[in-house]
Structure 1
Amino acid sequence: MTIRQVDGTERGEIKEKIIDQPCESFDDEIFLDATDDGVTIKETQLIEEIQEEQPSLEQSMEEVTRVLELALSNQFEEAGQIADKWAEVSLYHALGAATLTFFKGVLTLEHAQIKNTMDSLKHVIDLYQIKKYQSNSVARVVWKPNYNNYTEDQIHAELVYAEAQLMIALMTFLQDQNLISLVKGALRIRSCFQTYKECNNILNQRVSWSSEKVKRHFESGVRMGLGTFNLMISHLPSKVLRLLEFVGFSGNRSIGFTELEASTAITDGLRSPLAKLIMMAYFCYIEHLFGLGNEDLTLVTNILSSAMEKYPNSAFFILFAGRINQLEGKLSEAILNFEKCIAIQNQWKQLHNICYWELLWCYTIRCNWKKAAEYADILRKECAWSPATYTYQTASYYYMSHEAEPDEKLRAQAFELFKQVPGLRIRYAGKTIPAEKFAITTSERFVSGEKRIIAPVLEFSYIWNIFAIMEKDKTLIDPMLKLIEKQLDSLKSEIDDSEKPLDDYLDLILMKGMCLRSMGFPYQAEQCFLEIIDNEKRLARDTYLAPHAAMELGLTYVRLNDLPAARRWLEKSRKDYTGYLLETMVHFRVHCAMRNIKIMEKQSASIPPLTLEEEETSSLDSTPSLPSEPLPLAEPIMPTGKGQSSFFELASKLQARFSFGFGASYDDSQVKL
């Protein structure tokens, strides 16, 4: 184990020496129980020296609170200087410095930065080994520990250890993709989870605290950690969840929210702002990307409002303000916030890349391909997260620009970029991310000889759940729908040839179904999804379309409150298909849909049945009556954009615009307004 020793009389002149102890390597000792023994005489002497040099626990937490405040106020360099001042001897200062490097590592994914992050986190573990409560592990099996015998430094050391373990595990997945590293990462996460449970026992069982402030700092961290674990584990598909429960993990979504909210409520707790960031990241990104896109933003909006009162110019919170605007369909406000986030600070340009990503989607929704291409190209050149994805998107926007206004130069640029995509693959946790795998497969197909790619931007919009954003403002859907109809018209000649595969046609039908459902026409969307299922055998290449259509059928029936049908189709999408592109996305979204169905069924079961008298009254009350004024018609539905057509004119125009089957029309009774 590597231990840093401090000598010298002046605190400002800290010199580092390395003492090599004949004990386990870092990779071995990191899995030891938090209270294993084995302290040498040299280590004991070192503890005494360090205790003389370092600030007290309360002083450390006050300074690290200041570090966090500076970071949230965009003063990253100043925050780093305060954390580095005592990072060699103070566990909390070391954690603060490591957390800053961790954020940089996650945002850049550059190998040099990841290595710096790992070195900083390993130093935190080294200090923990010195400061932890030293007990006999054999005796621990026989007698439960008395947490009142721990000093408060030792108690907080356990919490810091858990947080460092979690960051190390995440960095391990990003740093190295071999099997041994993945196993080590999984074991570290398990060790971290067990340590958080131990900290919860300390919180519940310890009686004496030197001050309420020390206890609140500890409680805010315990609740944040347990809440995060519960929330993330509960979000995993049921098969993965059962496996994790078998090896000792458990997760409850409601408990996760409760614990995180409790952490944010401890306003003077050190981790309270971090708990707020976690809550916002979950609702704004995890819930949207891996869920159904129907998240309730009330809670996260309230959290953001309270955070903005204290940190009005924080790049982090301005970013989340823009993201919430975007999820609500308020693109103009979102663009202003993302641009403000970019302009407000230059110390961490890694945050700019997140804003470029969001701006890219804002302009994609507006069908402004050239502007979206500008941001995709910036990401392609500056961001290391997924070069294949950014290159594919840049190429797609060039291709869509060429389709809108023919320009052979743009098409040639797109073709050259598509050729580069397969060679830019990156693996995380041993896997290629689904969107990148899709981009590689599509690019290989395009450059290998097909020379045709159908609306690539729409497919990526579907993968990133962009249709859920467009649904919030239906005026955004009409340009997309017109684009789809134009593409479908170009494929009509292929439909009647039974020998030809219908991959491109059915791909567009899936996108059309998404648009129709977003516009409030679930019955017409149902026809689109059923058409894909009926013609599944004519899919030669895009086999993912059938399971996705089955999933979307299930989600459509959820909206229609036909829960038995929804269950059947969702189960079909999950169980009847395997080995296709974007399979992970289906499993995550089906898991969320099943969770929502259970909630709806419980709510329905809790409503008592009506008495005979109530049923008669209800039936009388439900007699249809003519409205005193004509019902307003949704603006985006109208081809003219004036919203003055009568119902029958509207139905006629819808019939002309939307066709089902192989170009066949449907009767007016299918139009549900």
Structure 2
Amino acid sequence: MTMSEHAGDSAERSSTSDLNVALRECMAALDLFLNNKFSDALASLQAKTKDSMYHALTYATILEMQAMMTFDPQDILNAGNTMKEAQAICQRMTKWTFCRFRKKSTVADSINNLVHRQSLEHFTEEEIHAEICYAECLLQRAALTFLQDENMVSFIKGGIKVRNSYQTYRELDSLIQSPHYVKGENHLHFEGGVKLGVGAFNLTLSMFPARILRLLEFVGFSGNKEHGLLQLQEGASSYSFRSVLCTMLLLCYHTFMTFVLGTGKGNVEEAERLLKPYLARYPKAVNRYEECCEAQQYWKQFHHMCYWELMWCFTYKRQWKMAFFYADLLSKENTWSKATYIYMKAAYLSMFGPDDCSPFGDSEAELFRIVPSLKLKIAGKSLPTEKFAIRKARRYLSSNPVPLPVPPLEMMYIWNGYAVIGKCPNLTEGMLETLNEAEEALARSSATELLADDRCVIKLLKGLCLKHLGKVSEAEDHFNYIYLNEKKIKYDHYLIPNALLELAILYLEQDRREEAIKLLEKAKQNYKNYSMETRTHFRIQAALHQAKSTPENGMHCGASAVS
């Protein structure tokens, strides 16, 4: 062996050793994080964030987890900036090897790669890890844009960066399938990264509404839901650096995305199976929101996430005073959307009995009136939920306001809460009782220009309760009532496409697929510029996927190699 070959071999061994140490230290930091030792986790990483790609990525990932769970604008901004710095680390010359973290190419190389893509098979182990870290930085930055802009306009505008991530994952997946690929010492961690990226892209892209999908497919994106779920499941089942992220994404899909952006067919059993080993390994990963607040005091924003969930739990149980209490806490402590929190405070006050009053002397009408003044923008965009709350609250700006009939129950629909209580007949029956009382009160009140809107709101919510209680014919009548009274609705135009959507889902459950598809296409094509439009389109897309039940063409492993 020549001196140069010996030096190169020594450098590669040193590089591999450093990679082993970095992965071991970063996994230890994730253990600290999952044991609620957030400050210790960040402190253990911080010293090496300027020199180690994995330390930089893990540090930024923990901040991103915080942002994902808190929705705090400052957390989102901090996570985005830190992830951008981590991305730069992957491209910077290291101080302790002879190679770059991530191979950079010149303009000429880029043009040449259009004809003949540079072979990843000649990369060192460290270099392919730099590639996966770089792609992950881009992927996580794209995820942050979803928090800032639910209709993904930012995602599309930043398409070049996202496409780079997407293409890198495709190439790295092809590398793993190649017969010439030689597995390094840290292959399991590398493969887990590929499964995370391929799975995340497939699953996310498959959920987009058709109008966004068409644009994404035009620039080369595609997604397959089943393949995405399989990749994430395989990534979650292996003990690797990214198995936690695969698990978290699956949990988010099964317990949140399928309810808020889907048809409410979440897989709670699968979520419990995924959680089981983590609950055993991390005994402080508690399963009650109150205990979660007691488990750590470092990041108060985690408390706010629990307050939000507790607010809805008490809403489902119609315990308006307790729901008001948590809405009040959020309005005072959290900055995500003061307008939404104050709106919810007023909404719960409106449900109090005649002898009840606010513990703080708040007036329902006064709270509703200040909601529009609290509007804010994150990254230049207004929050969809906030815009909905402001539109609903504007009726209180007049000197003689017309009260909203059941505002917390209407907001509960926006978050698809009826799919949650639908599994508990006693809760659903209680909610139906409250809606019947509201309908009777509306019938006794003086007629106003908003009467048709208010009647249709109650009809939509009653229809959902009736459906979950098995009263299918009555539910169908309630949804049809809204469509038949479309011309009478003055402001709440979101009710019509959503009534068609709910009727279609009802038909799907009766195996009336052709009728369901026609209604879904009508809801998708014939209505626009209404409240929560993008969220409705996500749900329409999910229902169409369920209705058509045909294999999608997306990123596949095996012979097609994510093509």
- Give your verdict on TM over 0.5: yes
Please report how far the alpha carbon of residue 379 of structure 1 lies from its aligned counterpart in structure 2 after TM superposition: 1.1
C-alpha separation in 1, matches of 2:402 and 2:214: 45
Q: Deviations over 1:478-527 (max 9, x none)?
A: 222222111211222579x7988422122212111111111110111111
Distance 1:555 1:162, change over 3 A: same
How far has the Cα of 1:160 moved from its partner? 0.7
1:576-631: CA deviations, max 9, x gaps?
Answer: 222222222321222111111122999xxxxxxxxxxxxxxxxxxxxxxxxxxxxx
Contact 2:460 2:495 in 1 (8 A): yes
Counterpart residue number, 2:120: 147
Unaligned runs of 5+ in 1: 1-47, 322-336, 603-673
Matched, 1:117 2:79: yes
User: What letter matches 2:511 in structure 1?
Assistant: N
Residue type of the alignment partner of 1:547: P
Deviations 1:452-475 (A, max 9, x none): 111101101111111111111100
Deviations 1:196-230 (A, max 9, x none): 2222233233746464x411100001101110111
* Distance in 1 separating the partners of 2:449 and 2:143: 49
The one-character-per-residue Cα deviations of 1:219-259 (angstroms, maximum 9, x if unpaired) are: 00110111011101101112211211111111000110111
Find the counterpart in structure 1 of residue 474 from structure 2. 524
Partner of residue 160, structure 2: 187
| Corresponding residue to 2:187 among 215, 225, 228 | 215
Aligned residues: 529
Gaps of 5+ in 2: 1-9, 93-100, 553-563
CA change 1:141–1:418 in 2 (3 A) is same
Where do 1:357-372 residues align within 5 Å? 357-372=308-323
Q: Is the 8 A contact 1:501 1:540 kept in 2?
A: no
State the secondary structure of the residue aligned to 1:450: coil
Over the aligned positions, Cα root-mean-square deviation in angstroms equals: 3.0
Residue 168, structure 1, aligned to residue 130, structure 2: no
Q: Which amino acid aligns with 1:154?
A: E
Which residue does 1:440 correspond to in 2? 390
1:630 aligned residue: none
Offset, 1:423: 2.0
Contact 1:399 1:411 in 2 (8 A): no
Q: What letter corresponds to residue 473 of structure 1 in structure 2?
A: C
- Match status 1:238 vs 2:210: yes
RCO (CA 8 Å, sep 6+): is it higher in 1 or 2? 2
Matched, 1:309 2:309: no
The answer for the alignment partner of 1:156 in structure 2 is 129
Partners of 1:233 and 1:183 lie apart in 2 by: 12
Q: Distance in 2 between matches of 1:549 and 1:593?
A: 13
1:632-655 residue CA offsets vs partner (Å, 9 max, x unmatched): xxxxxxxxxxxxxxxxxxxxxxxx
Structure-2 change in CA distance of 1:420 and 1:138 (3 Å): same
Alignment partners' CA distance in 1, 2:550 and 2:255: 23
SS at match of 2:397: helix
C-alpha distance in structure 1 between counterparts of 2:348 and 2:225, whole Å: 38
Q: 1:274 aligns with which of 242, 245, 249?
A: 245
| Matched-pair contact (CA < 8 Å) for 1:500–1:538 | no
Alignment-derived partner of residue 45 in structure 2? 83
- Mapped contact 2:254–2:270 kept (Cα < 8 A): no
Cα distance, 1:528–1:411 mapped onto 2, change above 3 Å: farther
Residue pair 1:54, 1:90 contacting (<8 A) in 2 also:
no
Partner of 1:556: 506
Change (3 A) 1:125 1:54: farther
Pairwise mapping of residues 432-471 of structure 1 onto structure 2 (< 5 A)?
A: 432-448=382-398, 449-471=400-422
Task: Give the AA of the match of 2:241.
Answer: L
TM-score (norm 2): 0.86
Residues 534/405 of structure 1: CA separation in 2 closer, same or farther (3 Å cut): farther
Distance 1:498 1:564 in 2: 39
Q: Which amino acid aligns with 1:247?
A: V
The separation in 1 between residues aligned to 2:199 and 2:471, in whole angstroms, is 38
Name which one, 1 or 2, has greater alpha-carbon Rg. Answer: 1
**Structure 2 residue corresponding to 1:341, chosen from 270, 292, 305:** 292
Distance in 1 between residues matched to 2:380 and 2:485, nearest whole Å: 35
Q: Which residue of 2 aligns with 1:639?
A: none
Q: Which is further off, 343-352 or 116-125?
A: 116-125
| Percent of residue pairs identical | 34
- Are the structure 2 counterparts of residues 144 and 599 from structure 1 closer, same or farther at C-alpha, using a change threshold of 3 Å? closer
1:105/1:588 Cα in 2 relative to 1: closer, same or farther (>3 Å)? closer
- C-alpha distance in structure 2 between counterparts of 1:426 and 1:93, whole Å: 34
Question: What is the DSSP-based 3-state SS (H/G/I as helix, E as strand, rest coil) of the residue aligned with 1:540?
Answer: coil
Q: Which residue of structure 2 aligns with residue 74 of structure 1? A: 36
Change (3 A) 1:491 1:484: same
Q: Would you say the 8 A contact 2:388–2:532 is kept in 1? A: yes
Following the alignment from structure 2 to structure 1, what is the Cα–Cα distance between the partners of residues 183 and 519? 58
Distance 2:197 2:390 in 1: 37
SS of the residue corresponding to residue 367 of structure 2 reads helix
Letter in 2 for 1:505: R
Deviation at 1:139, TM superposition (A): 4.3
